[in-house]
Structure 1
Amino acid sequence: MSAAVAGAISPSWLELREDADADARAAGLLDPLRAHLAGRAARPLVVRDLGCGTGSMARWLAGRLPGPQHWVLYDHDPALLALAAARLPARSADGSAVTAEAHRRDITRLRAADLADTSLMTASALLDLLTGPEVAALAEACAGAGVAALLALTVVGRVELAPADPLDALIAEAFDAHQRRSRGAPVPVTLPRTTSRKLGPDAVDAAAEAFARAGMAVHRRPSPWRLGPAQAALAAEWLRGWVRYAVEQRPALAAPAGPYLRRRLRQCAAGELRAVVGHEDLLALPAGG
């Protein structure tokens, strides 16, 4: 479940998903990212984290990159920004200092000039909230400033549940349609309302095309959540959101969805349900990087 369907983004939800996010992130993208960053002039890395939440990306990534780092954190919620800044790792992979500053702003207005001092743009569970023009503008900003982008955990519209249920496909189809609706509030970063459709599960493909069109080299890796008995609490909360938004999109599903959700939650509680929730990570590197 992406931040798009989590309702008012709460620290408890972000904490519930943090371990699954960390396990899912595509660590294989770090080698080309490190190689690119190593080729830059010797100065502290400046990392801009869009929709930082409680700072889980910084906690995962800062200790995997060497050298001094300065993180610029963006989110819509001052409380989340404060948590992210307070829980930032103190040291990078080689023991260098890691510092941060926090901002509330509309990230769709970031342009190349705003990224002049930036080494890396990063985000988790964000791309599916954006429209096509917003993703294109982000790609152009990164390309214009020569900034790498690591965009993680974007939903791709693939869900596998075991044991299977005849209603799985209908719920999945309705949920994906909901993900493509126009954007309202709340959202996990300061974004404008728009009547344009969000990209939803089409976001990674659209982003890959936009970054490639802007002249950047694109690397993609799957990053699925794999939820079993050890992740039962997360699986249950994800199921509630998945079904809720499917029914919001297709009210005709309301009658069968209630018993379906109760069955699935019983299976979660009994340790009988396993879910693979598809996400994908994307790394875009400037030309020559």
Structure 2
Amino acid sequence: MQAKVNQEGDVNVLQDVKAERHINAERDADAPRYAPEWLALREAADAAARAPELLDPLRAYLAAVAPSGGPVIRDLGCGTGAMGRWLSGRLPGPQRWILHDQDPELLAHAAAGAYGPAADGGPVTAEAEQGDVTRLRAEELAGTSLLTASALLDLLTAEEVDELAEACAGARCPALLTISVLGRVELDPADPLDSEIAAAFDAHQRRVTGGRRLLGPDAVEVAAAAFARRGAVVHTRPSPWRLGADQAALTAEWLRGWVGAACEQRPDLTAHAQDYLRRRLDTCAAGGLRVVVHHDDLLALPSPAAGGCR
């Protein structure tokens, strides 16, 4: 989420908490649209946070099933294509990426970006497919070697996660789902209001919007169980943002969104939160704030006993 702050430090724009996704415009006409600038600002932090140890079992799986013509990879909620830029050079080629997003402007930006080369020097191509990523079914994943998403899982409902796991199981398709929030944040130096802001933010992430109850910090646990029920081998690894003085711009934008979402959930916090945000931004600008935002990455591989992706 991005919240703007005026010269007095007041949070004056309270939008949706996740700045990187516009998934359900058809069902929620007020859903915000997000700027590529915010996605660019967070791309390096996401890349540094993702768990590289999940790539070894993924590469081994893809090598064992040896998809004809190289892997076909679907990136759900692709934003500006950051996941493809991070992953394409870490997997063998040739690769065909299919980019999914609801926002046509972000999708065009992503499709126009440069990807690859693959880890073995093979070519990487990308194409766009606009639509609601929560409605993919097994038949639409036929021929897909890997489904990926970044900072998406916690924006889904339990039913949508279950349907995603069902689609992957039906298509015998592995899933790599990265940068899902866990509801744990560490700020140094600490402030007495930290825990109250954090609790309100987590409640906002679990809110009901457009008739949908979002999973927020519960997403990884719910997804791991959903994939495991369908026989997948599930791996999870931590992928925290570690923000210091060299990421001051990102930290400041994250702070505005974090506090803004907390105040949207609990308007009674606003008066105290304005002063809190001002203090935090001043410390951040001076290079004195350190933040750890905890996430998990999840890899779900089809059971070896049932064969590979088709």
Equivalent residue number for residue 220 of structure 1: 236
Gaps of 5+ in 1: 184-192
Q: Does the 8 Å CA contact 1:34/1:65 hold for their aligned counterparts? A: yes
The one of 282, 285, 306 equivalent to 1:269 is 285
The one of 61, 79, 82 equivalent to 1:36 is 61
After TM superposition, the structure 1 = structure 2 runs for residues 99-138 of structure 1, keeping only pairs within 5 Å, are 99-138=125-164
Equivalent residue number for residue 157 of structure 1: 183
Q: Distance in 2 between matches of 1:233 and 1:246?
A: 20
SS of aligned partner of 2:179? strand
Q: Does the 8 Å CA contact 1:121/1:147 hold for their aligned counterparts? A: yes
Q: Distance in 1 between matches of 2:161 and 2:142?
A: 19
Equivalent residue number for residue 200 of structure 1: 216
State the Cα deviation string for residues 181-237 of structure 1 (Å, max 9, x = none): 123xxxxxxxxx4x1310011000000000001110100000000000000000000
Q: Distance in 1 between matches of 2:134 and 2:65?
A: 26
Q: Does the 8 Å CA contact 1:229/1:274 hold for their aligned counterparts? A: yes
Matched, 1:139 2:165: yes
Q: Does the 8 Å CA contact 2:115/2:126 hold for their aligned counterparts? A: no
**Structure 1 stretches of at least 4 aligned residues deviating more than 3 Å after TM superposition:** 1-4
Q: Does the 8 Å CA contact 1:55/1:88 hold for their aligned counterparts? A: no
Give the CA deviation at 1:4: 4.2
Matched, 1:5 2:31: no
Gaps of 5+ in 2: 3-15, 20-31
Report the TM-score when normalising by structure 1.
0.94
Q: Does the 8 Å CA contact 1:4/1:129 hold for their aligned counterparts? A: no
Q: Does the 8 Å CA contact 1:5/1:245 hold for their aligned counterparts? A: no
SS of aligned partner of 1:16? helix
Report the TM-score when normalising by structure 2.
0.88
The one of 283, 297, 310 equivalent to 1:281 is 297
Matched, 1:231 2:231: no
Give the CA deviation at 1:77: 1.7
After TM superposition, the structure 1 = structure 2 runs for residues 43-62 of structure 1, keeping only pairs within 5 Å, are 43-62=69-88
Q: Distance in 2 between matches of 1:157 and 1:263?
A: 22
Q: Does the 8 Å CA contact 2:17/2:257 hold for their aligned counterparts? A: no
SS of aligned partner of 1:155? strand
Give the CA deviation at 1:90: 4.2
Q: CA RMSD in A?
A: 1.3
Give the CA deviation at 1:284: 0.2
Q: Distance in 2 between matches of 1:81 and 1:105?
A: 10
State the Cα deviation string for residues 38-58 of structure 1 (Å, max 9, x = none): 011342210000000110000
Equivalent residue number for residue 265 of structure 2: 249
Q: Does the 8 Å CA contact 2:134/2:160 hold for their aligned counterparts? A: yes
